[in-house]
């Protein structure tokens, strides 16, 4: 730690002005590429961070039966927890119904969320192949991909969700 | 903040006491309890968060009893909860925060290192954007705990996020950040780098002590005035990115569906809102005469400038006293003396923030956002005082 407060004061002035290229406080340890990779589990909409592995709806049906159906119901129809199947038209119903098929803009989000947060009581226990497969199954139930279609790091980001263009930026920012 | 005129005619604050007791005679008294290391409230006090039965209580919420708290600070033990995969049990000696992505160097900070950095303390509300969601319907909730209890206000202490980002050195192409928690589902949200640099706080303190586990112990993000879900608890990672990541909680949830089928996304700021907390639904006014009307107002766009109160269902409005100090993006306490004449009365409050925004009626809100946008409901709320003194939701 640098000592006197004058150093700190100057540093804070600089901080206020623009982004620094050098560290000011000398705290924090540099993380290795391996550490960052292990922590960085988020899959963005371009799917660049997707892992190796693959799966189809056919395989996913087996995963769904054992790990998902209890809460999300037969064929994604919903049960104690949310329905996973629907069409964009349902967004204009009264009341509207928001599902993966009717509402979610990106298929990568389905993979990311399933991998990190599902099954609810055992999050993080599905293998990458299982996540690809069950993602494919939910997309298949929504009529978005075919039953035999393989989902992997190449194909999943290319899936166009029905409500892809259904979102607009908060217009309150302009008022 | 504006002198308050008593609604109606002249009013004498001092009245003769109803009974004149005599002081008890001095006599033997039992010795009190000894000193103790950590204080607990009196056993006579039973105020509690409201919890509804849920098949998944780890992914549920509990609500602050706003009508049973005083001032502007919510006791940490009564701060509302909203968890998505339970409250993790985190050892601060091993907890680390990773700053990475579009930065010059990826940095890992221990809790000790974070506490060595320059710190800041700020009073801010945190409000779930689903707060008052039931108020979109014609028939709102019966109590203020149910209608508005997903909002609380604390003094937060921590490191400005700007310092951590500048230590890592943000690259010019970095425009957003992703914040991720260390709970079982690794709850995450994307927010703008601009907000992170402006006033984001990586907080370890709440109301003078460490964060409560259910508020993110040992570390959480505070983004003043932005919807609660972005204030990621159990913070473990901040990634600088070019754009938002469209994660589950910023697409399928926490977006507002309009009647044309389009949904607003990245609706971060909480609009100005106020509610009368006393008298409010479920209360009973004992008898006609003096009663203080009091409540809370807050805005995600800065300070509350004024609060008006109506005791006649909106036919006339009186400016309430606003309690100093007024902090930006914080609960603001308002008060208005009131002489209840024993007749039916409908109490309303409406606030204006420093951006000039005025809290809307339900009709105005629906005209702008339809009936099914679910989140960010900040309509004016009414309480009906019946002739028998019982207080209920004005629209029940």
Flag whether pLDDT at A86 surpasses 50.
yes
- Given CA atoms B186, B206, B357, B359 in this order, what sign does their dihedral have? positive
pLDDT of residue B22: 66
Closest to A25 (Cα-Cα) out of B290, B103, B119: B119
CA distance B36 to B96: 33
pLDDT at B138: 86
The whole-angstrom separation of Cα B225 and Cα B191 is 13
**Predicted confidence band of residue B10 (pLDDT cuts 50, 70, 90):** very low
Q: What pLDDT is recorded for position A19?
A: 47
B106: CB partners within 8 A, 6+ apart? A30, A31, A35, A36, B98, B99, B100, B168
Residues A124-139 have pLDDT tens digits of 999 999 999 999 999 9
pLDDT for B296-347, tens place per residue? 999 999 999 999 999 999 999 999 999 999 999 999 999 999 999 999 999 9
Q: Write the DSSP string, B212-270.
A: PGGGTTT-EEE-TTB-GGGS-SSEEEEEEESS----GGGTTSS-EE-TTS-EEE---BP
- Model pLDDT, residue A174: 56
Average pLDDT over residues B358-365: 97
| Contact between A168 and B264 using a beta-carbon 8 Å cutoff | yes
Adjacency order of strands within the sheet including B96-101: A29-30, B107-110, B96-101, B235-241, B176-181, B188-192
The pLDDT score that the predictor gives to residue A173 is: 67
| pLDDT tens-digit readout, B96-122 | 999 999 999 999 999 999 999 999 999
Residue B394 has pLDDT above 90, yes or no: yes
Alpha carbon of A18: minimum distance to chain B alpha carbons (Å)? 9
Contact A168 B263 (CB under 8 A): yes
A83 vs B contacts (CB less than 8 Å): none
Binned at pLDDT 50, 70 and 90, residue B9 comes out as very low
**Assign residue B246 a region: left if phi > 0, alpha if psi is -120 to 50, beta otherwise?**
left
Greatest CA separation for chain B: 78
Residue with tokens 């809100």: B365
For B165-195, what is each residue's pLDDT tens digit?
Answer: 999 999 999 999 999 999 999 999 999 999 9
Q: Is the pLDDT of residue B2 over 80?
A: no
Contact B245 A43 (CB under 8 A): yes
Query: What is the tens place of the pLDDT at every residue in B55-73?
Result: 999 999 999 999 999 999 9
Query: Which pLDDT belongs to residue A1?
Result: 38
What are the structural domains, with CATH classification, of chain B? 81-264 (3.90.420.10), 273-393 (2.60.40.650)
Confidence of residue B28 (pLDDT cuts 50, 70, 90): confident
Smallest CA-to-CA distance from A44 within B158, B23, B178, B276 is with B178
A-contacting residues of B 342-381, CB under 8 Å?
372
Characterize B91-118 residue by residue with b for buried, 16 or more Cβ atoms within 10 angstroms of its Cβ, and e for exposed. ebeebbbbbbbbbeebbbbbbebbbebe
Judged by CB atoms closer than 8 Å, whether chains meet at A109 and B372 is answered as: no
Domain A54-166, CATH 1.10.760.10 — does that match?
A: yes
Q: What is the pLDDT of residues B230-265, one digit of tens each?
A: 999 999 999 999 999 999 999 999 999 999 999 999
Phi, psi (rounded to 5 degrees) for B205 = -120, 145
How far apart, in Å, are the Cα atoms of B34 and each of B38, B44, B229?
Answer: 12, 18, 42
- CA closest to A24 among chain B residues: B167
Query: Average per-residue pLDDT in chain B?
Result: 94
Q: Name the one residue in this structure whose structure tokens are 């943000």.
A: B170
For residue A41, give the nearest of B100, B186, B248 by CB distance: B186
Residue A67, CB-side half-sphere exposure with 13 Å CA sphere:
26
Angle at B311 between CA B305 and CA B317, to 5 degrees: 40
* Domains of chain A by residue range: 54-166
- Looking at this predicted complex, what is its ipTM? 0.90
A76 sits in the region (left: phi over 0; alpha: psi -120 to 50; else beta) called: left
Q: Cβ separation of B263 and A103 shorter than 8 Å?
A: yes
* B167 secondary structure, DSSP code: H
Return the pLDDT at A59: 98
Residue B20 confidence class, pLDDT cut points 50, 70, 90? low
Percent of chain B with pLDDT over 90: 91
**Could you give the 3-state DSSP secondary structure of residue B62?**
strand
> Which residues of chain A make contact with B263, given a CB cutoff of 8 A?
91, 103, 166-168
Cβ pair B59:A108 closer than 8 A: no
Strand ranges (E), B143-234:
151-160, 176-181, 188-192, 201-206, 209-210, 220-222
With H, G, I as helix, E, B as strand and everything else as coil, classify residue A98.
Answer: coil
């Amino acid at each position: 730690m640098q000592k006197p407060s004058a150093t700190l004061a100057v540093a804070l002035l600089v901080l206020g002005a623009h982004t620094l290229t050098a560290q000011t406080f000398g705290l924090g340890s540099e993380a290795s590429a391996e550490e960052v990779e292990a922590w960085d589990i988020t899959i963005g909409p371009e799917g660049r961070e997707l892992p190796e592995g693959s799966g189809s709806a056919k395989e996913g049906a087996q995963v769904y039966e054992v790990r998902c159906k209890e809460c999300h119901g037969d064929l994604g129809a919903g049960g104690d927890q949310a329905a996973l199947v629907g069409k964009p038209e349902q967004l204009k119903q009264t009341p509207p119904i928001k599902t993966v098929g009717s509402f979610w803009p990106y298929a990568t989000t389905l993979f990311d969320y399933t991998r990190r947060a599902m099954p609810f009581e055992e999050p993080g226990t599905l293998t990458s192949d299982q996540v690809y497969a069950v993602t494919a199954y939910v997309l298949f139930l929504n009529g978005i991909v075919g039953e035999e279609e393989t989902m992997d790091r190449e194909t999943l980001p290319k899936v166009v969700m029905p409500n892809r263009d259904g979102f607009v930026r908060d217009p309150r920012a302009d008022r | 903040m504006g002198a308050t005129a008593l609604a109606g005619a002249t009013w004498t604050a001092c009245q003769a006491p109803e009974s004149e007791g005599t002081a008890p005679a001095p006599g033997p008294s039992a010795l009190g309890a000894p000193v103790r290391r950590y204080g607990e409230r009196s056993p006579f006090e039973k105020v509690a968060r409201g919890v509804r039965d849920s098949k998944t209580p780890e992914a549920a919420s509990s609500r602050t009893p706003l009508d049973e708290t005083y001032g502007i600070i919510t006791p940490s033990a009564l701060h509302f909860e909203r968890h998505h995969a339970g409250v993790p049990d985190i050892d601060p000696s091993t907890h680390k925060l990773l700053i990475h992505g579009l930065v010059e160097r990826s940095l890992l900070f221990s809790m000790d290192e974070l506490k060595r950095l320059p710190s800041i303390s700020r009073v801010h509300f945190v409000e779930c954007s689903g707060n008052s969601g039931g108020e979109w319907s014609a028939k709102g909730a019966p109590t203020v705990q149910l209608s508005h209890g997903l909002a609380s206000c604390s003094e937060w202490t921590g490191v400005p996020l700007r310092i951590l980002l500048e230590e890592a050195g943000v690259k010019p192409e970095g425009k957003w950040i992703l914040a991720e928690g260390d709970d079982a589902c690794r709850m995450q949200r994307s927010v703008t780098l601009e907000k992170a640099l402006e006033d984001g706080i990586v907080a370890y303190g709440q109301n003078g002590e460490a964060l409560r586990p259910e508020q993110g112990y040992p570390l959480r993000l505070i983004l003043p005035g932005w919807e609660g879900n972005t204030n990621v608890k159990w913070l473990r990672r901040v990634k600088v990115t070019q754009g938002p990541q469209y994660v589950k909680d910023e697409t399928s949830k926490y977006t507002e569906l309009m009647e044309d089928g389009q949904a607003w996304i990245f609706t971060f700021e909480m609009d100005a809102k106020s509610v009368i907390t006393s008298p409010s639904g479920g209360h009973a006014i004992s008898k006609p005469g003096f009663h203080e009307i009091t409540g809370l107002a807050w805005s995600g766009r800065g300070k509350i400038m004024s609060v008006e109160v109506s005791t006649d269902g909106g036919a006339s409005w009186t400016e309430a006293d606003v309690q100093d100090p007024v902090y930006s993006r914080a609960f603001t306490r308002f008060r208005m003396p009131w002489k209840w004449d024993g007749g039916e009365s409908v109490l309303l409050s409406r606030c204006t923030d420093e951006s000039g925004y005025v809290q809307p009626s339900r009709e105005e809100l629906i005209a702008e956002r339809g009936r099914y946008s679910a989140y960010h409901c900040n309509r004016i709320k009414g309480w009906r005082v019946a002739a028998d003194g019982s207080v209920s939701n004005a629209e029940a």
